[in-house]
């Protein structure tokens, strides 16, 4: 098995004219196809299969896969824009392909062997669905508490995995999972006791629980993954080396956090557009409530914060494309965008007034859907700790 090659850090991405044409088509698809389908998604708690097929045909499941493996080869800035455009519609549409183009594709880029890339990149491009198995019933961001194990087979040709993963997006219908598992009994420095494995979801011993009932985000499914004496070959070990899994996972989470930040920013924009329309249509005291100064203040504050998040998205993705280390700025963007979205949807409910509390109006749905952005891919509180840790580390380098 070949050792993983160093990933190319600077990424020019798709030709800008070609990408802008694609973006124009995608924006039209979101507004003319996806938004009208939202009621069906909510009613059935599922994205219609024909829409998933359309997304496959558009190449959305492989947009971040390098061109030499059949993908579109988008850079981080272009990837974030696609996620942002798709996330103007109901969150389920982003969710179904986001793990493919974010954390899973990033893990392949950062840590896979060439053989693993040749096997899995084309499968992503054709529309196989991926999931990312890090969180467990007793551990999330705390890797020291990870209990899933991977033990080498006596003949040395494979591994046996046992454990349970929790809150795994797309698990009920995924084709492959990237599973973080303990390959050492004792906790080691730099989380070297954790390794990553590429596990087909149809492998004997892999099962999923029933999709969890959630507060919002209808059509986006999460569930447990149970691993019961799951046998995988030796080449299922990502990168062909033990002890690197957590590092690969954390590197992949940079892309995941950009995706969540881009999604939260777009959903805040969707909610504000709805509130602006409602404020101009709703009459009180003989005039539209949009003319009331305190309504205008909420609209203005929301526009200001969305603009700030859009600027952060552009900055962090351009830095990524230049090859800079973005771990702190990706975390900062995700924290700001997700918290901002929460404030915006709260104002939108207030602008709607009593109607904002009724399920027949969009504001109530926006409010429920947005809450998860502050939790997954790192809670705000965990990311605050991470940001501060890196700030202090940099200060020590410069001053001690």
* Alpha carbons 175 and 192: distance in angstroms, whole number: 27
Going by C-beta distance under 8 Å and a sequence separation of 6 or more, which residues neighbour residue 268? 302, 305, 306, 309, 337, 340, 341, 344, 345, 370
* Alpha carbons 230 and 262: distance in angstroms, whole number: 36
Q: Which of 377, 394, 396, 398 is catalytic?
A: 377
* Alpha carbons 323 and 241: distance in angstroms, whole number: 25
* Alpha carbons 217 and 16: distance in angstroms, whole number: 32
Burial environment of residue 144 by CB neighbours within 10 A (0 to 12, 13 to 18, 19 or more): exposed
- Taking residue 45's Cβ as centre, other Cβ atoms within 10 Å add up to 15
Respond yes or no: is residue 281 known to be catalytic.
no
What string of H, E and C letters represents the secondary structure of the chain? CCCCCCCCCCCCCCCHHHHHHHHHHHHHHHHHHHHHHHHHHHHHCCCCHHHHHHHHHCCHHHCCCCHHHCCCCCCHHHHHHHHHHHCCCCHHHHHHHHHHHHHHHHHHHHHCCHHHHHHHHHHHHCCCCEEEECCECCECCCHHHCCCEEEECCCCCEEEEEEEEEEEECHHHCCEEEEEEECCCCCCHHHCCEEEEEEECCCCCEEECCCCCCCCCCCCCEEEEEEEEEEEEHHHEHHHCCCCHHHHHHHHHHHHHHHHHHHHHHHHHHHHHHHHHHHHHCEECCEEHHHCHHHHHHHHHHHHHHHHHHHHHHHHHHHHHCCCCCHHHHHHHHHHHHHHHHHHHHHHHHHHHHHHHCCCCHHHHHHHHHHHHHCCCCCHHHHHHHHHHHHHHHHHHHHC
Known catalytic residues are 377
């Amino acid at each position: 098995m070949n050792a993983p090659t160093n990933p190319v850090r600077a990424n020019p991405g798709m030709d800008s004219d070609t990408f802008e044409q694609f973006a124009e088509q995608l924006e039209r698809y979101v507004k003319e196809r996806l938004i009208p389908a939202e009621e069906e998604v909510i009613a059935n708690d599922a994205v219609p299969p024909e829409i998933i097929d359309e997304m496959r045909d558009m190449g959305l499941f492989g947009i971040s896969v390098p061109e030499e493996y059949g993908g579109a080869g988008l850079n981080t800035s272009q990837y974030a824009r696609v996620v942002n455009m798709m996330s103007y519609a109901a969150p389920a549409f982003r969710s179904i392909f986001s793990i493919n183009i974010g954390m899973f594709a990033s893990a392949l880029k950062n840590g896979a062997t060439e053989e693993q890339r040749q096997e899995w990149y084309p499968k992503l491009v054709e529309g196989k669905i991926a999931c990312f198995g890090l969180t467990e019933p007793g551990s999330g961001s705390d890797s020291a508490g990870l209990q899933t194990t991977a033990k080498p087979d006596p003949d040395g040709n494979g591994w046996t995995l046992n454990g349970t993963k929790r809150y795994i997006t797309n698990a009920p219908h995924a084709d492959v999972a990237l599973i973080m598992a303990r390959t050492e009994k004792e906790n080691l420095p730099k989380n070297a006791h954790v390794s990553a494995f590429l596990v087909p979801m149809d492998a004997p011993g892999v099962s999923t629980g029933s999709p969890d009932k959630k507060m919002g985000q209808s059509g986006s499914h999460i569930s447990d993954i149970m691993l019961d004496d799951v046998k995988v070959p030796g080449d299922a070990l990502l990168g062909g080396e033990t002890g690197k899994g957590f590092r690969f996972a954390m590197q992949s989470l940079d892309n995941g956090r950009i995706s969540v930040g881009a999604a939260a920013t777009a959903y805040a924009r969707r909610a504000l557009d709805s509130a602006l329309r409602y404020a101009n249509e709703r009459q009180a005291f003989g005039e539209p409530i949009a003319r009331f100064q305190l309504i205008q203040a909420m609209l203005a504050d929301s526009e200001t914060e969305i603009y700030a998040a859009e600027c952060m998205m552009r900055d962090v993705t351009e830095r990524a494309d230049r090859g800079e280390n973005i771990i702190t700025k990706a975390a900062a963007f995700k924290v700001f965008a997700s918290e901002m979205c929460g404030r915006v949807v709260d104002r939108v409910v207030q602008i709607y007034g009593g109607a904002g509390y009724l399920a027949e109006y969009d504001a109530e749905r926006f409010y429920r859907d947005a809450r998860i952005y502050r939790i997954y891919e790192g809670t705000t509180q965990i990311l605050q700790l991470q940001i501060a840790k890196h700030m202090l580390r940099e200060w020590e380098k410069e001053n001690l």
